[in-house]
């Protein structure tokens, strides 16, 4: 009987440890997301999309296609033109076609470029700015 009690006690302690580790990992992931330099993009051009805000997920497809997370259907972009992906704790902008893309007035040199709060990105005829917070959330000029 004593062995059954010890076995049950060991089982419950093991379950508690596994759950604690799992919760800790979830909390660390949430903390990493909160500490990111950007969370939103705001479209500035073309005029018909000006003022639209898009929240950033881990993987954000940008294009004119309806299946993109950031969809701008009547723009000059391809259906799947570019991406903003969360990699190694920072959002990075990537595109296969660097020719009509620039960040902060500079043409893209690499296929993947890190983004920060206030960065202005041009993709074809679309311009957007990266923000840590939406204007309504405060701490934003």
Q: Given a cut of 50, is residue 11 above it in pLDDT?
A: yes
What local confidence, expressed as pLDDT, does residue 44 receive?
A: 92
Which H or E run includes 25? helix 2-34
What is 40-134's CATH number? 2.60.200.20
**For residue 10, with 0-12 CB atoms within 10 Å meaning exposed, 13-18 middle and 19 or more buried, which class applies?**
exposed
Q: In the predicted model, is pLDDT for residue 97 greater than 80?
A: no
Per-residue pLDDT of 13-52, as tens digits, reads 998 888 888 887 776 666 555 556 678 899 999 898 899 9
The 112-114 sheet, strands edge to edge: 70-71, 59-63, 82-87, 90-95, 112-114
Token pair 């920060």 is found at 116
| pLDDT of 91 over the 70 cut | yes
For residue 120, name the pLDDT band (cuts at 50, 70, 90). very high
The pLDDT value recorded for residue 139 is 42
pLDDT at residue 32, as a whole number:
58
């Amino acid at each position: 009987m004593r062995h059954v009690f010890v076995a049950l006690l060991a089982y419950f302690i093991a379950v508690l440890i596994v759950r604690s580790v799992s919760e800790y990992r979830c909390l660390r992931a949430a903390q990493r997301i909160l500490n990111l330099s950007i969370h939103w993009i705001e479209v500035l051009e073309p005029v018909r999309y000006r003022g639209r805000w898009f929240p950033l997920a881990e993987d954000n497809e940008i294009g004119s296609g309806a299946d993109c997370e950031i969809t701008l259907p009547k723009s000059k972009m391809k259906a799947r033109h570019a991406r903003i992906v969360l990699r190694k704790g920072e959002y990075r902008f990537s595109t296969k076609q660097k020719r009509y893309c620039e960040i902060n007035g500079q043409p893209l040199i690499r296929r993947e470029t890190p983004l920060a709060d206030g960065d202005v990105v041009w993709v074809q005829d679309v311009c957007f700015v990266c923000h840590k917070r939406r204007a309504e959330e405060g701490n934003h000029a």
